[in-house]
Amino acid sequence: MHVAIPLYPRFTALDAVGPYTVLGFAPGVTVTFVAAAPGPVTDDLGGLTLTATGAYAGLPHPDVIVVPGGPGTAEAMRDPQLRDWLVAARPRWTTSVCSGSLVLAAAGLLRGRRATSHWAVRDALAGFGAEPVEQRVVTDGPVITAAGVSAGIDMALTLLARLRDDETAQTVQLAIEYAPDPPFTAGSPRSAPPGLAERALTLIR
């Protein structure tokens, strides 16, 4: 089982690394970071660089694709190499984290499907023919989309249960001790204190 995670400049690190960790722990699963050409790709904060060890051309038909989001999404949506690869790959599962769903939508892969994204850009999915859904993880056919950043771990566990079984996903969840118990309830615009959404937007745009 081969999972490909495409990297592009100014991706959000946890969007890629969260699913990478979950899926990489699973027996029989290989995860490869890919890009137009192998080499280093720097994240949105500028302090972390991941290495794409493969190229799109070298992995034309992975079993799973996980597209991360980040401030670089706008450029990624216009990247013809990434778009063409996404369309031609026809993996068993196509997935995204955060604004990575906009990359899928721009490639025409979410038309007529329910999907989610980061709350700040979720409604933009409608402009590509998708149905925006306010959920942490949305599965529609062979496509799974996740809400913002940390939801990528939830998405990867959901995907792993589909790829293997619930027990395997639960085993990985325990191995990485994923038992969220945040100190605040400010994780969504609905539960955050008034005015916090505006401040949060200044951090991600």
Catalytic annotation, residues: 98
Rounding to the nearest 10 degrees, give the CA dihedral for residues 35, 40, 42, 48. Answer: 130
Whether 5 contacts 11, CB under 8 Å: no
- How far is it, in rounded angstroms, from Cα 111 to Cα 62? 22
Backbone φ/ψ region at 46: left (φ over 0), alpha (ψ -120 to 50), beta = left
Q: Which of 112, 187, 180 is nearest to 147 (CA)?
A: 187
| Tokens standing for residue 38 | 């192998």
Pair 70, 50: CB distance under 8 Å: no
Tell me the two tokens of residue 124: 């933009």
Would you call 170 helix, strand, or coil by DSSP?
Answer: helix
Tokens of 3: 């999972």
User: Structure tokens of 74?
Assistant: 């706008």
- Indicate the residue type of 128: F
State the helix-helix crossing angle for 13-25 and 151-163, rounded to 10 degrees: 30
